[in-house]
A and B are shown apart, each in its own frame.
Chain A
């Protein structure tokens, strides 16, 4: 059931603003978009045969790249702010592209399930380049006239990571 066009447009605008905050490295303002009970999750992916693709993601009790409460996201921002986090010092240049946005109402009133595709490009120092491509499942919550991110599940289209780290937010 497609949602109201205005609602979808509002949500897209929110996602674009969020992406801009990340690319401008305004991490504190980005953190303010996250609900207090937020969960940020990114499982590992493995190559499996047809028919077994569902087993190609690590489960909740298994290893993941991110399984973070808001406090951990804040700790990651603090690490960047120290100025001595060598993975991000000198700072990376990122570009977050968000597209293919699909919106559905969630179970809770005022919450929406938002799926999108993303490309995050990172350029570092002289010639260091990384591309991450994948899909996100967000749960957004409308509160006090603002959008908040209650949950983000990130599904990368890589098994072995081609990058030396994941020091950026998705």
Chain B
């Protein structure tokens, strides 16, 4: 299988085997080599504000309890009693001091410690080593500016190292105001009969599909109502001219991350209009520019996927997490992220716009769902499965820019370089190489890229 896996993604020709979208053996390997090694999004700190707060979340196909212990520290543990495996948390969220198993009554505290065993003296003769039978902890849990991530792999690099240049995009989302962000109450959750990777690679790199997939939403008159686009909508002339003068780039990153970014030109003006959103953006613009810098204050939109499965879209203030249920089934969780300090009316307008854009009732998300489902249905076809999928838009035409101002990027408003980065990352992790080996290979690649840049400058 390891040898096979390397062949499933052809870097040179940018072809990807359909097998990776339906094969159960590959799915099982993904659970081990990707979901059990990478940093995965668990939740936002605002979901568990106080001691005892918990929320049921997911890592790969595993149910995980994310909570704050009595000291207010964030903890994550596998939602499965060590005795016979029964889930110990059956509700969506709440506040508690104990997780008690409904089967035999074993009880765990907010650190996952086994603190109660009925019949411990009479039936276990006091011999059960309670310290060894606590809930399985998620060994590494870390917060990045309000986003809580966890990894099953103790060898994984620190979260900030893993995020790398994706932080340029994440900081734009999370750092706009001193009060940081929070998520709006309620997480959209729905099931789609498609492979988890289709959404992840789409959001980070697919500008190509919007004109066809989403034309009905645009024709119907739907447009996003979002903080970042509104803030950056500093129009000069008509909106067509404004669109023409926007600078687009793709940033295919390491570890399978990547983002697309559109920037307004330097001479664009701050948006006028006295609706609450535009007023809010004008009032907070100086704070934004001081915190994220002049360049990022010109962001029109960013679409980012943090590998493997957390996709951010600033144009709608949203985060999709693509949880795998099986090789051809995905459970999508969708969050709306807002500035904590925004007034209630601003949060309301952002929320209304966001839920009309993406999500099961969203004008845009709805049309993606059928496309991904039909793609997944077609993948195992006995004939079609032998024909690879095409990810080669822009291959060989990359105009790389390395200037220290932004991450190393490709000047492009439309290509498939980010999807190629996603599947390169996929192949790296699926090879089974250790974090150490992968880090060494990554360092060698970056050194070679620097040499290329220096050589081209010298010419």
Contact = CB atoms under 8 A, between A and B. Distances in A.
Interface core residue of A43, A64, A79, A163 (most chain B CB under 10 Å): A79
Interface stretch (A12-20, A55-63, A106-114, A144-152): A55-63
Interface stretch (B72-80, B153-161, B349-357): B349-357
A85 B186 contact: no
9 contacts: A48-B91, A48-B94, A61-B185, A61-B351, A64-B355, A65-B360, A65-B361, A82-B219, A161-B360
Contacts of A63: 184-188, 336, 351, 355, 359
B285 to A, nearest CB: 25
A62 B184 contact: yes
B369 A87 contact: yes
Contacts of A56: 92
Interface residues of B, number: 43
A105 B186 CA distance: 32
Interface of B: 90-94, 184-193, 213, 215-217, 219-222, 331, 336, 344, 347-348, 351-352, 355-356, 359-361, 363, 365-367, 369-371, 373
Nearest to A43: B186
A143 interface: no
Contacts of B92: 46-48, 56, 159
Contacts of B184: 62-63
A62 B90 CA distance: 22
Contacts of A66: 361
Given A47-B90, A59-B185, A164-B193, A79 B219 contact: yes
Chain A, interface residues (CB within 8 Å), range: 35 or more
A-B pairs, top 8 by smallest CB distance, nearest first, are A62-B185, A63-B186, A85-B216, A58-B186, A79-B220, A46-B92, A161-B190, A87-B366
B219 A84 contact: yes
B196 to A, nearest CB: 14
A61 B347 contact: yes
Nearest to B96: A49
Contacts of A43: 186
Given A64-B355, A65-B360, A82-B220, A164 B189 contact: no
Q: Interface centre among B93, B213, B366, by most A CB within 10 Å?
A: B366
A78 B336 CA distance: 26
B367 A163 contact: no
Contacts of B192: 164
B367 A85 contact: yes
Given A87-B367, A167-B366, A61 B344 contact: yes
Contacts of B367: 85-87
A76 B220 contact: yes
Contacts of B186: 43-44, 46, 58, 62-64
Interface of A: 42-44, 46-49, 52, 56, 58-59, 61-68, 72, 75-76, 78-80, 82, 84-87, 89, 159-167
Contact of B215 (A46, A49, A78, A82): A82
A159 B92 CA distance: 9
Nearest to A81: B220
Given A46-B93, A84-B216, A163-B190, 12 more contacts: A48-B94, A56-B92, A63-B184, A63-B185, A63-B188, A65-B360, A78-B219, A79-B363, A85-B367, A87-B367, A162-B191, A167-B366
A153 to B, nearest CB: 15
B355 A164 contact: no
Contacts of B347: 61
A44 B190 CA distance: 11
A160 B331 contact: yes
B360 A165 contact: yes
B215 A165 contact: no
A165 B219 contact: no
Contacts of B351: 61-63
Given A61-B348, A78-B220, A164 B91 contact: no
A52 B360 contact: no
Given A48-B92, A63-B184, A159-B92, A164 B216 contact: no
Contacts of B369: 87, 164-165
A114 to B, nearest CB: 23
Nearest to B95: A52
Nearest to B190: A161
Contacts of B213: 86
B138 to A, nearest CB: 22
Nearest to B347: A61
Nearest to A56: B92
Contacts of B191: 160-164
Nearest to A71: B221
Contacts of B220: 75-76, 78-79, 82, 85
Nearest to B185: A62
Nearest to B212: A84
